[in-house]
Amino acid sequence: MRGNGGSNVSKPGKLPRQRHVSGPAEVVLHSAGQSSVRKSGRRGKGKRGDRAAKLYKQGYSRGYDEGVRQGQSSFGLVFEGVSIIIPTYNQREYVLKCVSSIEKHTPAPYEIIVVDNASKDGTAEAMLRKGGMVRVAALDVNRGFAGGVNQGLMMARGRHIVVLNNDTLVTPGWLDNMMACLDSDPEIGLVGPVTNYIGGDQQIDVPYSEVEDMWSFARRHNRPDPDKHRMTERLVGFCWLFSRELLERVGYLDEGYAVGNFEDDDWMIRVKLAGYKLAVAGDAFIHHFGSVSMKALGEQDFATVNKGNEQFHSRKWGDPHTLVAKTLQIAQHMAQANSTVPPDCIDPGKTDPRQRIATQSSHDGLPKPRRSNDFYPEGCFVSDVKGDVYRLTGGLRRKLNIPVPRGISPVQVAKPDLLGIPAGEAVVSAGEIQGWPLDVRHVHISSIHDSANGWSEGCIVAAADTPEIRYQINAGKRRRFVTVYAAERWGVHSGHVLTVSPEQLHVIEEGLPIIAPPQLLNEDL
């Protein structure tokens, strides 16, 4: 939960498609579901007026097509700078101040992406007039914090990314000090600053009561000091810094959380499951006005939204702290098992951690960062935004070049998640496809007391005394679906579960867990 960091509120609704068109050196507003053509202020009469209107439309069409061409040619190109994403809703004056503070106190190369969640106060228009390094996505509906951030992440072109609340003011040295913290240890994946108003241990005591007095304090506080960098278990989502590599491994935020709150906790669980650590840059202070949008909900509506998101978070993750700790143990054990170096010969203190984390082989017995698809079930079917369907098997994605067989319902995942999975040979015959999930009638089991190979690969099992805890057998290991919700998101129901004795089940070594993929309501992700 972002605690006091909420920034985007409105009633959720059905989300239409939205496309953002922007050339490298210009900002173009293109709202979802609406024409971005602006009518000319001059109206002619008769043939002369008709000809002028026709020329205007032709000129606009050529300009629009050129913008699309430039956007396509630059898609996927990364610049050596920072993309600063600011989702906003009905807080024009705050976001204007926020952007101005970035422009004044950020010497490093950057771009600003303002995602306007269907504000009614002219926020998008004000941002467009501002120009400069600001790019704008104006949505026709409020997609909440997660949806707004995801829209910005899709548009981001920087090597590094900052997600920033609209009700903040950045200060001298803020980004340099956060970058220094991120670069200080390759195992750090996510960095946050300290502030005057937030939940958790990022809040510090400040001597000022008026914003005018904040700047002198911030200059003194933000003197670079690595001793103020510290690890933490949680970073409030009002300001995050991370690399594009982390985004490619972890993926987008879950849009199943209404409006705001808990989606940041959700994403941080996935960051930690991937093998990254969280850190606070104690020498980077930014001012936070505090929940200006969430407060606009009123106490009753805020409580309703918060309770619903808390329940969804619990249903999705169960006990996330135990899950993360156990996953790290499993990953460590798997790395050591694949290592050619005996575990008792490994001395982490004598090994450069930057080299350890970057090495793709596991010769030193230490785990490498994982990707989101490492937590997907074996043999499942997924689809992308275009409707192409793939089967995930053996660590590869195999595109179906045949109609999707009856009874299989692919789960849509984001394009970056798919691109992170190596491509295998396409599936060209229905005979190559096994059902998913495996029906109990097609599963056979022999005694496993002598060998774990008696289990059918991909079958779903549960112990008789804990039928709600489901596992998939994969490569001789049992992989737990972290919750019933996670199993259901992958299409697994009680009819797919083979019940066995606890003794039969627990004799098999445990592998990486299976988590629920994030809900993505924006079809363009």
- Write out pLDDT tens, residues 51-101: 777 777 777 677 656 655 655 555 567 899 999 999 999 999 999 999 999
Strands (E), 396-511: 396-399, 411-412, 460-463, 471-474, 477-480, 497-500
Structural domain contains residue 221? yes
Residue 62 has a pLDDT of 73
Say whether both 252 and 380 belong to one domain: no
The residue segments making up the domain with residue 486 are 445-507
214-218, 457-461, 511-515, range with the lowest pLDDT: 457-461
Q: Which of 364, 252, 38 is nearest to 30 (CA)?
A: 38
For residue 261, is it left (φ>0), alpha (ψ between -120 and 50) or beta?
left
CA geometry: angle 425, 431, 436, nearest 5 deg: 85
- Residue 186 and residue 284 in one domain: yes
- The CATH number of the domain where 131 resides is what? 3.90.550.10
pLDDT tens-digit series, residues 103-135: 999 999 999 999 999 999 999 999 999 878 899
Q: How far, in Å, CA of 128 to CA of 105, rounded?
A: 21
pLDDT band at 336 (very low <50, low <70, confident <90, very high): confident
What string of DSSP letters covers 41-93? Answer: S----HHHHHHHHHHHHHHHHHHHHHHHHHHHHHTT--EEEEEEEEEESS-HH
Answer yes or no: do 279 and 258 share one domain.
Answer: yes
CA nearest neighbour of 412 among 374, 393, 386, 432: 386
Cα–Cα distance, 55 to 58 (Å, whole number): 5
Residues 419, 495, single domain; the answer is no
Q: Is residue 36 very low, low, confident or very high in pLDDT (cuts 50, 70, 90)?
A: very low
Q: 399 has which bridge partners?
A: 390
Name the pTM for this structure: 0.81
Say whether both 195 and 239 belong to one domain: yes
354 within domain boundaries: no
Is 32 inside a domain boundary? no
Please check whether residue 308 lies inside any domain of the structure. Answer: yes
Together in a domain, 411 and 493 = no
Give the contacts of 492 (CB within 8 A, at least 6 positions apart): 377, 437, 460, 470, 481
CATH number of residue 419's parent domain: 3.30.2390
Q: Three-state DSSP class for 273?
A: helix
Please choose, from the candidates 195, 255, 248, the residue with its C-alpha nearest in 3D space to the C-alpha of residue 221: 195
CA atoms within 13 A on the CB side of 344: 0
In a domain, 241, yes or no: yes
Indicate whether 168 belongs to any domain: yes
Residue 33 has pLDDT above 80, yes or no: no
Pair 221, 252 in one domain:
yes
Which of 350, 223, 197, 356 has its CA nearest to residue 286?
Answer: 197
Strand partners, 280: 192, 230
**Residues 390 and 485 reside in one and the same domain:** no
61 in a structural domain: no
In a domain, 333, yes or no: no
Q: How many domains does the chain have?
A: 3
